Structures are given as structure tokens and as C-alpha cells.
Amino acid sequence: MSPRRNRQYGGAKPIDRTGGDRYGLERTEQWRGETWVVRQLGGGGAAKHYRCPGCDQEIPPGVPHVVAWQQHGDVDDRRHWHKACWNARDRRSARLQRSRNAPRY
């Protein structure tokens, strides 16, 4: 029996950081007269539990989602949204009422 080969064929692939449609790249969008920076996160980039402001439901770790913040806002102003909730943000009400015992993430 011949020994096993653990060689990778084709060599290392270069990392493209110039743009495109991949996760983690930022784009800007207009919403409610403000400029928002929007970044899509893949499942591997989501390591914590987040609360979506669109549906007030939890985003568990490992679920791809969208992070959005105002262009001239602070780092603490970032909000994590489900992708469908971000796309439907104009059709959803912003006045969701949570119960007193609901956790605030």
C-alpha cells in the first residue's frame, strides 16, 4: 500500500478584499432620510445572541443576519436584524411592546 498524500492541489487561493457580493462587506442605504451602513454577516460570524429590532425575536448564534447602523453613529448604535426583517423594515411598526420579564439584548 502506498502512503497517503495530503498535498493540496492548486495552491493557496488569494483572498479578495476588493468588493463583491460576499458576507462582511459594507454598503450604504438610505432609510428615513438617514444614511445607514449595512453589513451582512454569515453564520460563522455570528457568535452571540442578538435581538432583532424588526420582529423583537432572538437571533441565535450561527444564523446569518444583517448589521446596520447610521453612518455617523457610534459603535453602540449597531443593530442586528434578520435579513427578511431588514428588507421589510418599512412595512413593520417600530413600536413593539415587550413584556416586563422579557430579556433586553
Amino acid at position 29, single letter: E
> pLDDT 10s digit of each residue in the chain, 105 long?
667 766 666 555 554 444 444 456 788 988 888 888 999 988 787 788 999 988 889 999 989 999 999 888 887 888 999 999 998 888 765 555 566 666 665
Distances from the Cα of 95 to the Cαs of 10, 53, 54, 59, in angstroms? Answer: 54, 10, 10, 19
Q: Does residue 105 contact residue 49 with C-beta atoms inside 8 Å?
A: yes
Q: What is the helix, strand, coil percentage profile of the chain, to 5?
A: 10, 25, 65
From CA 69, how far away is CA 20, in angstroms rounded? 20
From CA 83, how far away is CA 68, in angstroms rounded? 11
pTM exceeds 0.75: no
